[in-house]
Homo-oligomer: A and B are copies of this chain.
């Protein structure tokens, strides 16, 4: 059986992956859902991308994890790309779930449309600690579009302010994802409109992986809330050999 490590996106913690993890564990696999530095309760919101990456590198080492299928969601794609650069020997396959794919020197903000950068700039500057939150209407309409209002609201209530430096820091990689020798998959939820689909996750970002396996399933950017079982199924198709 396989060891999965699921790395959440911005504003989330590992806890939101637990219903998904349960469905994967039911098939006999081992699943870890760590929370990235900057999103753990009590963390400084001035954490940068390098610290975020290091926190998952440390998690793998601290738990003696090897041969893992390492999944990143959204911002988590920045994190797992850095982890794959630092400790490729611990990884069996990378899975990007509607996730950013950076080349060396790119920041998350380089990969989103200008209206998001302007929004994040404004929100972070109004915060006491350079953190960003997502306005509810954007969350409800563009991130969790497949939910009913109660689910959208309940999910929004568990989000935490995100350390903005992790969006503006440029990643440092010794090689770009397309050149990494690890097997790679892109799990694409086809109704995801968190990025405009004309400037979206797939194929714009997925194709930066070079050779990769595409798995496509219906659902929004936040399928972890709206259908954890379907997401678990997609993850296992993306993560198997």
Chain A residues at the B interface, C-beta cutoff of 8 Å = 137-138, 140-142, 145-146, 148-149, 183, 185, 190-191, 193, 196-198, 200, 202-204, 207, 211-216, 218, 237, 240-241
B149 and A240 form a contact (CB under 8 A)? yes
B211 and A146 form a contact (CB under 8 A)? no
A141 and B212 form a contact (CB under 8 A)? yes
B145 and A213 form a contact (CB under 8 A)? yes
Contact status of A207 and B198, CB under 8 A, knowing A146-B237, A218-B216: yes
Interchain CA distance A203-B201 in the complex, whole Å: 13
A202 and B212 form a contact (CB under 8 A)? no
Shortest CB distance A200–B (Å) = 8
Shortest CB distance A238–B (Å) = 9
Q: Which residue of B lies closest to A211 (CB)?
A: B141
10 closest residue pairs by CB, A with B = A193-B214, A197-B203, A141-B213, A198-B203, A145-B213, A149-B241, A191-B216, A141-B211, A196-B207, A145-B214
B203 and A196 form a contact (CB under 8 A)? yes
Apart from A141-B213, A193-B213, A198-B204, 8 more pairs, CB < 8 Å:
A141-B211, A142-B214, A146-B215, A146-B237, A190-B190, A196-B207, A197-B207, A198-B203
Interchain CA distance A20-B120 in the complex, whole Å: 41
B211 and A190 form a contact (CB under 8 A)? no
A211 and B138 form a contact (CB under 8 A)? yes
Contact status of A211 and B145, CB under 8 A, knowing A198-B203, A218-B216: no
Chain B residues with CB under 8 Å of A200's CB are: 203
Q: List 18 A-B contacts (CB under 8 A).
A: A138-B211, A140-B213, A141-B211, A141-B213, A142-B214, A145-B213, A148-B240, A191-B216, A193-B212, A193-B213, A193-B214, A196-B203, A197-B202, A197-B203, A197-B214, A198-B207, A200-B203, A216-B218
Shortest CB distance A91–B (Å) = 16
Interchain CA distance A197-B142 in the complex, whole Å: 22
Interchain CA distance A89-B83 in the complex, whole Å: 52
Shortest CB distance A179–B (Å) = 13
Shortest CB distance A19–B (Å) = 21
